Amino acid sequence: MNASSLSDSAALEKAQRLHAENIVIDSLSPHFIAECVLTPAMVDLGKKLQSEGKKRFAIQATLADYLIKECERDPATRETYLAYWKRSGVTAGNNTLYGTGAPDNAWESLLADFGRVGRMVSAFDGALVQANCAADIEAAYKAGKHAVFYNSQSAEPIGDKLERVDTLFGLGLRSMQLTYNLRTRFGDGCLEKNDGGMSRFGEALVHKMNERRMIVDASHASPRTAMDATLCSSLPVIASHTAAKGLSGHARGLPDDVLKAMADRGGYAGVVILPAFLLPPGGDDRAEKAGKPTGWATLDLLVDHVQHMINTMGEDHVGIGTDWGKPYYTALTWTPEMVNESTSGFDWVGWRPHDKFNPNNQMMDVETWDKWPNITAALLRRGIPEATVVKLVGGNFLRVFREVCG
């Protein structure tokens, strides 16, 4: 597809118009509390926590608690928060309530975050709403409100109790991954030593999620686990935030055969903006030519992945799941030790040196989530038709959300 003749300013203006006129959904947004607005006081708090040797998840949790309290008591903080979201032009975001950690604590951790998000939504007196179905997102758009819906990036909170799917659905959980990076009792993650695919218990979980109409997400799954889940599910399966492994070769990307199988069964894949997952094996010097450090990425590279997925899956099955643009990453400097979340001597996150996970590296022009319209502008500059762009920035995910969750 040839690039359009749109200037940067004309493309951004058109992008902002499209955001105003259409529902925009981030299929895996930064957490709307822990990874969203960062006030000067929160920057100071984050630096203090780092100096005390605190690690990433502890810093996230502390900053989230601080922001909730400030939004509950301070109108100025609420206005700052809503202005940040308004600049993004995003109607609704899929938010992670549980990511990873020691399996024995997973259930309690997920329930605790339900308490936090409930307080945050209540603090905005209706300007921020929880969406449980497609109609809730559409109503929020019509009313000029912002909507959040919830996922778990691991099924570890389920433990050996499939009935917990019912409980979590009742609380508002609308999608769940079988695995994070490592092996669970449900299947293998993308960073495991071997790829044994999905377990028989994982198959039972998929059937239970189908019955409850909760979306199965294969973003962090190994290729075989992702394919097994796709073929096992009676409803569309998604990868809310992934990359084209055919371009990057990164373990966190999905190969073309899996992406195509998802699309053939009505599924969806959202392209992540985390640089390490997008960069090709030989590197991409476009960011360096723009004066950025090695390891950063450009929106041109992001659009390369979007175009590859369109070619593989079709334009009705691709979207954007940023998972990046987190202000606390850009405001603080991170060392590998701060990101290693070891518990009792074991790192349950699982990043290896060659995975190049580095919070200091960013996507140019989307260093923070409020710059989301720059993504849409990049799609338009590439020459992707406006009608297709509307699908990519929200329409395709909304279709799947409606089909599975109602």
Sign of CA dihedral 133, 139, 140, 141: positive
Q: Is the per-residue pLDDT at 279 higher than 80?
A: yes
**What confidence tens digit (pLDDT) does each residue in 281-305 have?**
989 999 999 999 999 999 999 999 9
Quick check: helix, strand or coil at residue 284? Answer: coil
Q: Is the per-residue pLDDT at 343 higher than 80?
A: no
Confidence of residue 45 (pLDDT cuts 50, 70, 90): very high
Pairing type for strands 173-177 and 318-320 reads unpaired
Domains of the chain by residue range: 8-405
CA distance 305 to 175: 24
Quick check: helix, strand or coil at residue 287? Answer: helix
Top-tier CATH class for 8-405: alpha beta
Tokens standing for residue 100 = 């990873």
- Rounded to whole angstroms, what are the CA distances from 165 to 160, 214, 225, 234, 403? 11, 8, 20, 17, 19
Q: Is the per-residue pLDDT at 41 higher than 80?
A: yes
CA distance 185 to 200: 9
**What confidence tens digit (pLDDT) does each residue in 128-152 have?**
999 999 999 999 999 999 999 999 9
**What confidence tens digit (pLDDT) does each residue in 149-184 have?**
999 999 999 999 999 999 999 999 999 999 999 999
**What confidence tens digit (pLDDT) does each residue in 207-240 have?**
999 999 999 999 999 999 999 999 999 999 999 9
CA distance 384 to 357: 30
Pairing type for strands 342-343 and 346-347 reads antiparallel
pTM, two decimal places: 0.96
What value, to the nearest 5°, has the Cα angle with vertex 158 and ends 152 and 163?
115
Please give, one letter per residue, the 3-state secondary structure of 110-167: HHHHHHHHHHHHHHCCCCEEECCCHHHHHHHHHHCCEEEEEEECCCHHHCCCCCHHHH
Work out the burial of residue 118: count CB atoms within 10 Å of its CB; fewer than 13 is exposed, 13-18 middle, 19 or more buried. Answer: middle
* % residues pLDDT > 90 (the chain): 94
